[in-house]
Structure 1
């Protein structure tokens, strides 16, 4: 199959970003989602996963890929490497934390790190999407050199190995609050299938299904070795039994509260965008330059500065310190005075507004429309495993937009 991107289309563009803007601004037939192939891949997973996605979550996968430039890709890598330097190495024999999600807005000014998630969802679903679209030209040589499933299972095994050496990993619990009610529950099923194919018993569990015993944590009669943590109470204050089992080293918990504090607490963005504080910590100038260029200025919100914040609100995006999934986040130009006053009395940070990119989508049975997108790098031990995008309408990401959802990413050389 010929690659339309590299067959003369670029010759009309002198600036790399102009070419990316063109690709994302057109409904190019050769770049549409192959829905038939996706359907076949979903059916191969069996029921109930197929019906869950097709019938109950039609907005899960986007109708078109997102194009990014090599420059934007390089900028994202530089920011990730710089964050890793600032965060430092974990304690010996400690897990590194699976599926860190580095979320970026890409625009004409470059790649801008909006936040880091330490329990980023979607990796298994995006791996399935990539596998279903092998005929398209996608980012990531690793996708083709190895199956992502192999990369993922070795990551979990390494988390266990860091704490227990060569002792085999036998039992995993995929833990969330009422997991069957979660929108991304289908990927819990994909994760369970992956573990079982690797000879590892796996339970998708709510806290009520776990039993704390003197020698550890149990589910369905099995002693749990490793917990794949999808809970959004990042400090586990509401889950003292899980926290105690982790602190007492009865389980390997990944990701865990330590990972959250070092990477995903929104106050870390304040540090990442503060040159003086970074120099004081001895961060290299190379990393400081990457962070100042790639992380929008972020500040703690304090009530005594309310008058200034109100005057400048249109330039900022307000986020709760301990929030997740875009809950409680607000663009300053959309704020009412009532909500603004509530923010001033709460724990918030404000991040300089960095607009997301836009992608034109021609969804079936609807008019072409421009959707916003962000790009998520799934990272383990500082290395990008895969890159995906999320297409959406409105203020923040969602999976309810026709033609939106998780999208393939193509880095254009």
Structure 2
């Protein structure tokens, strides 16, 4: 196990069936079209998306979508660990896909007009993904005259511009979990973005349309995203309901069937698996700010005689998957703190690499080779 960009990387692949990958590929495209039809603002600089999926015996289940997904470079390193045929070539292709997204949503096509770019988070020095932010800065630096990794507290507004010290900030890759720029500490950033003098991605509008967990209430009213008629397997959205739709006693009676999530939560914070929640804790949850999502058990994988849970995070440019990795962990919810947990490569059937498997799932290629150039 190695540590990459702040998160551990595992070298033991997690199996994903080709059929499941085809379902997820088709289903994510379907969901993205549905999201756009509901709210065109979803296409307003969403930046890197992640679709978190639990494989089950009935088919994959979508349990979360994020707009400022973390860990993409760690996932790419995991893919390299699992590559048996063309690790360097594949890594270069994954970087190109990521850069294409950055150019579209944040940087623009001309490095000479990009201006000063800031990758920004709160309490920067305590962030687990600080190393990833610096690595992303290195990746995009050829596309910008100046790239800085900054704490939000270092930014001010003066003379009509957002500034770091005396330098105007033209573009911000927003890594903070204040997705809507609602906190007083971010007022200067909100003002610059509202006035159009600074470009910010992912945008608050995209977050509202895509990653606010209340969207799952709407989406899960039509849960099936893709189906394989031969196997009978389907890719579906986990049923999600407003918690204030039922009384606490009703939720407690069948609590083992549900997971309780804050509508605006992130990184599993404030999430309670129903089978483990006490009556007292359930009653304390603010029902108007919580959702109940149908429980889909994490699949298990044996590693050195011990069972570990996992899910699969698919990184995407809107409705197109550009990378993936399994998140292997112990505990009730996803976490990477216990030794032995981390991002692991996925192994899809006989495919030697991730790009090859994705190409087959998207009906573009029959195999992976450095001679080929998957889009």
Query: Fold conserved (TM > 0.5)?
Result: yes
How many Å apart are 1:411 and its aligned residue? 1.3
Cα distance between partner residues in 2 of 1:135 and 1:113: 29
How far does residue 345 in structure 1 lie from its aligned partner after superposition?
4.0
> Which ranges of structure 2 fall in alignment gaps of 5 or more residues?
229-233, 351-375
Any gaps of 5 or more consecutive residues in structure 1?
Answer: 1-34, 43-48, 279-285, 363-367
Q: Following TM superposition, by how much is the alpha carbon of 1:288 offset from its aligned partner in structure 2, in angstroms?
A: 8.4
The correspondence of residues 334-353 of structure 1 with structure 2, limited to 5 A, is 334-343=276-285, 345-353=287-295
Aligned residue for 1:251?
198
Partner of 1:381: 318
Identify, as 1 or 2, the structure richer in strand. 2
Match of 1:176 among 117, 121, 132: 121
Q: State the secondary structure of the residue aligned to 1:100.
A: strand
- Distance in 2 of aligned mates of 1:235 and 1:199: 26
CA offset at residue 381 of structure 1?
2.7
* TM-score, with structure 1 as normaliser: 0.75
Q: How far did 1:151 drift?
A: 2.1
| Count of aligned pairs between the two proteins | 342
Q: Could you say what secondary structure the match of 1:88 adopts?
A: helix
Query: In structure 2, what is the equivalent of residue 405 of structure 1?
Result: 342
CA displacement at 1:321 relative to structure 2: 0.6
User: Which whole-Å CA distance do the structure 2 matches of 1:187 and 1:312 have between them?
Assistant: 41
Q: Is the 8 A contact 1:75 1:294 kept in 2?
A: no
TM-aligned CA deviation for residue 72 of structure 1: 1.1
Q: CA separation in 1, counterparts of 2:349 and 2:137?
A: 34
Maintained 8 Å contact 1:216/1:245: yes
Counterpart check, 1:112 vs 2:112: no
Aligned pair partner of 2:269 in 327, 343, 346: 327
Q: Against the structure 1 CA distance between its residues 128 and 213, is the aligned structure 2 distance closer, same or farther, given a 3 Å change threshold?
A: farther
Q: SS of the residue aligned with 2:348?
A: strand
Give me the CA root mean square deviation.
2.9
Assess, with a 3 A threshold, how the Cα gap between structure 1 residues 136 and 374 changes in structure 2: closer, same or farther: farther
Moved more, 242-251 or 100-109: 242-251
Instruction: Describe the SS at the equivalent of 1:265.
Output: coil
Corresponding residue for residue 357 of structure 2: none
CA distance in 2, matches of 1:151, 1:221: 34
The verdict on how the C-alpha distance between 1:319 and 1:356 changes in structure 2, with shifts beyond 3 A counting, is same
Partner of residue 139, structure 2: 194
Spell out the pairing of 1:294-305 with structure 2 (5 A cutoff): 294-302=236-244, 305=247
**Offset at residue 335 of structure 1 (A):** 0.7
Identify the range of structure 1 (173-182 vs 152-161) with the bigger mean alpha-carbon deviation.
152-161
Q: Where does residue 82 of structure 1 map in the other structure?
A: 30
Assess, with a 3 A threshold, how the Cα gap between structure 1 residues 369 and 120 changes in structure 2: closer, same or farther: same
For 1:258 and 1:185, the matched residues in 2 are separated by 25
Work out the CA distance in 2 between the residues paired with 1:133 and 1:306.
46
Q: 1:124 to 1:346 in 2, by over 3 A?
A: same
Residue 372 of structure 2 is matched in structure 1 by: none
The whole-number CA distance in structure 1 between the counterparts of 2:342 and 2:70 is: 13
2:303 matches 1:361 = yes
In structure 1, the residue matched to 2:361 is: none
Alpha-carbon deviations, 1:203-255, whole Å to 9, x = none?
Answer: 11111211212332122433222211111111111022222222221111111
CA deviation after TM superposition for structure 1 residue 201, in Å: 1.7
Compare 63-72 and 317-326 and name the one that shifted more: 63-72
Q: CA deviation at 1:154?
A: 2.3
Alignment partners' CA distance in 2, 1:137 and 1:105: 28
Contact 1:391 1:404 (8 Å CA) reproduced: yes
Cα distance in structure 2, aligned partners of 1:247 and 1:289: 42
Equivalent residue for 1:121?
A: 70
Task: Please say if residues 111 and 145 of structure 2, whose CA atoms lie closer than 8 Å, have aligned partners that are also in contact.
Answer: no
After superposition, give the CA deviation of every residue in 1:315-335 in whole Å (9 maximum; x if it has no partner): 111101111110111111101
Equivalent residue of 2:179, what SS? coil
CA distance, structure 1, for counterparts of residue 151 and residue 55 of structure 2: 37
Residues 352-406 of structure 1: CA distance to partner in whole angstroms, max 9, x if unpaired? 11111112223xxxxx311100101111131111011110000111111222111
SS of the residue corresponding to residue 406 of structure 1 reads strand
Deviates more, 1:263-272 or 1:121-130: 121-130
Q: Which moved more, 1:231-240 or 1:341-350?
A: 341-350
Structure with higher helix content: 1
| Contact 1:361–1:403 (Cα < 8 Å) also in 2 | no
Give the alignment partner of residue 15 of structure 2, picking from 67, 74, 77.
Answer: 67
Following superposition, the deviation at residue 307 of structure 1 comes to 2.3
